[in-house]
Amino acid sequence: MGRVAGKKLLSIMALVAMVGLLLLPIAVSLPSLAIGADAPDAVKQEGEQKYEKGRDVYYKTEGLAIGAPAPKTVDGPKDYPRYNFESRVLLWFANQQHLYYGSFVLAVPIFCMVIEFMGVVTKDKAMAKRYDQLAYDFIKISLTAYSLTAILGGILIFTFLTLYPAFFGYLSSIFRPVMHIYALMFVAESGTLYIYYYGWDKMRDGFLKWIHLSMSVILNVIGTLLMFLANSWIGFMMSPAGVDEQGRFLGNIWHVIHTALWNPLNVHRILGNMAFGGGVVAAYAAYKFLASKTDEDRAHYDWMGYIAMALGVAFLIPLPFAGYWLMREVYAYRQQMGITLMGGLLAWLFIIQATMIGILFLSTNYYLWQALGRMRGAEKYQRYIKYLVFILCCGYLVFITPHTIVMTPAELKAMGGQQHPVLGNYGVMSAKNGGINVIITTTILSFVWYMRGNKVSTVSWSKFGNIFMGVFFACAYVNIIWLAIYGYYIPANVRVGLSVPQVATTLSCLFFMFPLNSAMMKGAKQMGAIEWGKISVRSQYALIMLATAFTWMMGLMGYIRSSVRLFWHVNEIMRDNSPWAYTHTVGFAANMISFNVLFFWVSILFVFWLGSLGMKKAPVPAKAGVPGGAPQPAAGH
Amino acid sequence: MKAIMSLGALIGVAGLLLLSGMIVGIVPSDTVRLIEGYMPVQVIAELILFVAGFTGISYMMSAMGMTFPRFWQGISCWAFVLLYLKFRVYPPIPFSVRAMYGTVSLVAVFMWVSANEEDWQKFKQPIMNVLDAKTGGNRLLRYAYLIILPILIGGFSYNAMVPKSEEPIELRTVHPAPPASTKVHGKTYTLQTSQNPYRVNPEGKYDQEYSNANIVEQGMGRLMKPNANPWDKDAQGYLKYVREGGEIFYQNCHFCHGDNLNGRGLHAFAFNPIPANFTDPGTIAQLQETFIFWRVSKGGIGLPNEGFPWASVMPPWEQHLTVDEIWKVVMFEYWHTGYYPRTWD
């Protein structure tokens, strides 16, 4: 008894220590934040004598220009020292690899939190154990990746210091008040992660398990704050605030952090990281599935891949909407930036992005259709898959139609102008919004089919429920397509607003149809068990494709976001005067992204291998999937 | 059910016959016209009809005991999409887009034929048969493939690598990002906030809703709204300015941009690309009025760096027109096409 109480005390102390670690950076930063708008009067008066006044380029407020102006760099060894290689490409590589690993190690703890929580609340003891083991395996992988992230972060800083000293010096002078907070957050993150990982076995049951789960929440809060801080740097580079026209810091660090694009970037990155993390873990499971020698292993990794895919896709579905918000804010911040991105110089990269998004959804749907094959009784849905393929294909073709078409001058002449009377209509936002919403709604429909694959509803209102669901989806498609067409007949500002009912239609399918389906399937008659491991190998390649597409798209979007600044280090504040202040060709960028993706996958395979050296095998129930004791792969299923 | 499927089959057969006729040139390509303005929806509707037709044909053939093998279903479906894009849609779709569509269709066909294990087995059976070569015919086919495939691949490779005298592919930036502000006749205009001074209501105040209510109806024929005729001698305010803009347009712009503003003017085909088609939803309908003001004022020579390959011969109209005339002509373009300029509120 005394021992248990001691453990509890120790756990609570650990939790308190974590909260303390979380608060430490804030406490440390308090004196440095005092400079600025909220500084004591004495300090202000002294400052007014010493410094000129400046006007914030974004917030339009006045403040004391306490920082140095942005350096006017010149091409030479002082501002741009270099190896005998393009410095920008080196930085690109270091940055991208750090971002991949950073995203992974931020996403996996969120996964662990969700999976551990599912384990805690699941009543089935065997399932609870499996969830717990899965979460533990994930965090173990993440631990190795964590040290690699830190190493890559170091390499990135050295690359900045060595190749772009003037720019990095300026950026760190602006962010000086929070630079050390960032570093201390890393300490807090590491400390929390280690306590969370090493305390796993000691806090396995009862109240201690809840304490352990709480630790994962704190770990994720720290991780998210870390990411927000890092986002503030890129937000500042794209849409600077808190400085005057010369780039002088005006003393309000909150303005510097809270730039026009900070919040949309934060939301987009959280969702993106989660979807990416899901993809990577799903690919890991797929690889292990393909390499498995026993049915038991295949069942385990099939299940693992499904969970990772479901979590990843759960965050993928809202991702286009977050991206839409980000682009809207970009347009609102600077019209030129928006046009450069979506209608001008970088427009073709967005077509590639649309292609990748389509691949993600196509892969997900394909996986789900394959997964129907491991359920007895799901045959009734399989015969209709061809119609879903057609709908998906139409939505996808519209979604990827370019506005700026690549063509020879002869083709241009034959077409009779830059705009094609058919393709031109598909190449604009109204049609594309319709396209992506059709794709997402179809994905939701595939999920609904999967969730009811081997079941027959026994509720008295099942016939009405089925008709209602059918009509709901049909109306959703009609509404989305009608709004896409209607968008051509109304002013652009109203058209932009039409995306709201389109998205609402798609989301209402998600939020109404899933619960309705779950209600209908409560106590449903099972036509057969889910036979984990009896899924086609094609499905696993779909998971690998999903992960590769995620990785490639992350690289692409990072490149687009960065290159939209064109020849600016900090948009309209600090000019890039290096010889590489030009936009790469689409071909070069694509090759570079592919190289980054390849490097990441080779290195993460190494991480997986390291993780597998000491991996404990998950105890799988001998008859997983039998009716009554069937493993429930995801919430609501 | 059978009746519906029979109807589907009938539609499918009729559609296939029409398309085949168009491909071989027996049936004129405009037998079933793609109507301008409705083309995009028409194309999708036609594809839906074809899918319904294929389903019907497949069902009827099964009912008659002549099941069409899944392998050939997949191949035919893909071939149909390629032929439809090449021969049905006009003006011709550039190869880059057809390649994209063709690849997506191929992926879609693969997803369909491999969606479940039974279908996948059926689909790959003929391929496996040839590879296994258990019969004389299959053995012959295997040898034929052994010879033909390398020749084909070699031919494609040679064709791809052989130097050609064709003009290179250009990735034209149609709407380059505008500057934050532009200086015309000594005055600086901020593009994000400037407004057309002639887009006014009867009280003389800037009013986009009022002007939107008086533009030409979109659709076939593009009809003027009743009581909103700029050529009415009593027309005042906004409508009068539209008329003045129209006069400037027909004195200066219509030679290239056409009297219907569709980019097909008298001199249009002397240029490549031909002038912008304002009736297309991808041109002025996508842009702020100030963007057009900037482009008209500065012309092709004023295109920014990213406006590659700067293929525009439009003169910088600030050298020929006053600021007021430019604003009026821009307003006329929106009035005539029935589009609304983009706004941010």
Nearest by CB to residue A343, choosing from B105, B175, B264, is: B175
Q: Output DSSP code: residue A106.
A: H
Interchain CB distance below 8 Å, B167 and A408: yes
ipTM: 0.81
Nearest by CB to residue B112, choosing from A386, A402, A485, is: A386
Tens-place pLDDT, residues B301-328? 998 887 877 888 999 999 999 999 999 9
Q: Does A273 touch chain B (CB under 8 A)?
A: no
The answer as to whether A64 is a domain residue is no
Interchain CB distance below 8 Å, B343 and A394: no
The answer as to whether B167 is a domain residue is no
- CATH code of B199's domain: 1.10.760.10
Q: What does A136-168 look like in DSSP terms, one character per residue?
A: HHHHHHHHHHHHHHHHHHHHHHHHHHHH-HHHH
Interchain CB distance below 8 Å, B92 and A408: no
Tens-place pLDDT, residues B231-265? 988 889 999 999 999 999 999 999 999 999 989 89
The answer as to whether B343 is a domain residue is no
**Mean per-residue pLDDT for B207-229?**
81
The answer as to whether B175 is a domain residue is no
Q: Please indicate, yes or no, whether residues B89 and B152 belong to a single structural domain of this protein.
A: no
Distance set, CA A228 to CA A31, A101, A231, A265, A266 (Å): 21, 16, 5, 9, 6
The answer as to whether A271 is a domain residue is no
Interchain CB distance below 8 Å, B40 and A405: no
Interchain CB distance below 8 Å, B340 and A392: no
Look at the alpha carbons of B138, B144, B145, B146 in this order and tell me if their dihedral is positive or negative: positive
- How far apart CA A349 and CA A57 sit, in angstroms, is 30
Q: Determine the pLDDT at residue A617.
A: 53
Q: Determine the pLDDT at residue A36.
A: 45
Query: Tell me, what amino acid is at A165?
Result: P
Interchain CB distance below 8 Å, A536 and B120: yes
Tens-place pLDDT, residues B173-206? 777 888 889 999 999 999 888 999 999 999 999 9
The answer as to whether B169 is a domain residue is no
The answer as to whether B171 is a domain residue is no
- How far apart CA A524 and CA A465 sit, in angstroms, is 13
Q: Please indicate, yes or no, whether residues B212 and B291 belong to a single structural domain of this protein.
A: yes
Q: Please indicate, yes or no, whether residues B233 and B298 belong to a single structural domain of this protein.
A: yes
Among A559, A574, A443, A546, which Cα is nearest to A171's? A574
What is the tally of structural domains in chain B?
Answer: 3
Q: Please indicate, yes or no, whether residues B322 and B191 belong to a single structural domain of this protein.
A: yes
Q: Please indicate, yes or no, whether residues B150 and B202 belong to a single structural domain of this protein.
A: no
The answer as to whether B262 is a domain residue is yes
Nearest by CB to residue B169, choosing from A407, A485, A492, is: A407
Kindly indicate the confidence band of residue B10, based on its pLDDT and cuts at 50, 70 and 90. confident
Q: Please indicate, yes or no, whether residues B205 and B317 belong to a single structural domain of this protein.
A: yes
What is the tally of structural domains in chain A?
Answer: 1
Q: Please indicate, yes or no, whether residues B152 and B252 belong to a single structural domain of this protein.
A: no
Q: Please indicate, yes or no, whether residues B148 and B56 belong to a single structural domain of this protein.
A: no
- How far apart CA A266 and CA A108 sit, in angstroms, is 17
Q: Determine the pLDDT at residue B317.
A: 96
Nearest by CB to residue A336, choosing from B47, B89, B180, is: B180
Q: Please indicate, yes or no, whether residues B188 and B327 belong to a single structural domain of this protein.
A: yes
Least CA distance to A411: which residue of chain B? B94
Helix (H) or strand (E) run with residue B139 in it = helix B136-161
Q: Does B106 have pLDDT greater than 90?
A: yes
Interchain CB distance below 8 Å, B168 and A408: yes
Question: Chain B contacts of A372, Cβ < 8 Å?
Answer: 116
The answer as to whether A267 is a domain residue is no
Proportion of chain B above pLDDT 90, given as a percent: 50
Interchain CB distance below 8 Å, B115 and A408: no
Is-cis flag, bond preceding B163, omega within 30? no
Q: Determine the pLDDT at residue B170.
A: 73
A196 exposed, middle or buried (CB, 10 Å; 0-12, 13-18, 19+)? buried
Q: Determine the pLDDT at residue A246.
A: 94
Q: Determine the pLDDT at residue A494.
A: 74
Least CA distance to B288: which residue of chain A? A492
Q: Please indicate, yes or no, whether residues B256 and B225 belong to a single structural domain of this protein.
A: yes
Chain A 378-397, residues with CB within 8 Å of chain B CB atoms: 379, 382, 385-387, 389-390, 392-394, 396-397
Query: Tell me, what amino acid is at A369?
Result: W
Range of the domain at A470: 375-527
The answer as to whether A419 is a domain residue is yes
Range of the domain at B146: 127-162
Among B201, B194, B176, which Cα is nearest to B293's? B194
The answer as to whether A265 is a domain residue is no
Question: Chain B contacts of A586, Cβ < 8 Å?
Answer: 171
Q: Determine the pLDDT at residue A631.
A: 39
The answer as to whether A236 is a domain residue is no
Interchain CB distance below 8 Å, B306 and A335: no
Q: Does A229 touch chain B (CB under 8 A)?
A: no
The answer as to whether B22 is a domain residue is yes
CA A36 vs. chain centroid, Å, equals 34
- Cβ atoms of residues B341 and B287 within 8 Å: yes
Tens-place pLDDT, residues B132-150? 999 999 999 999 999 999 9
Query: Tell me, what amino acid is at A136?
Result: Y
Low-confidence ranges of chain A (pLDDT < 70): 1-5, 7, 18, 21-49, 492-493, 614-637
- How far apart CA A69 and CA A66 sit, in angstroms, is 9
Q: Please indicate, yes or no, whether residues B71 and B138 belong to a single structural domain of this protein.
A: no
Q: Determine the pLDDT at residue A207.
A: 84
Interchain CB distance below 8 Å, A491 and B283: no
Look at the alpha carbons of B208, B211, B215, B217 in this order and tell me if their dihedral is positive or negative: positive
Kindly indicate the confidence band of residue B267, based on its pLDDT and cuts at 50, 70 and 90. very high
- How far apart CA A575 and CA A568 sit, in angstroms, is 4
Question: Chain A contacts of B56, Cβ < 8 Å?
Answer: none
Is-cis flag, bond preceding B91, omega within 30? yes
The answer as to whether B190 is a domain residue is yes
The answer as to whether A191 is a domain residue is no
**Mean per-residue pLDDT for B155-162?**
93
- How far apart CA A611 and CA A617 sit, in angstroms, is 12
The answer as to whether A214 is a domain residue is no
Q: Please indicate, yes or no, whether residues B210 and B320 belong to a single structural domain of this protein.
A: yes
For testing contact with chain B, the best of A392, A403, A407, A483 (most B CBs within 10 A) = A407
Structure tokens at A12: 């609570």
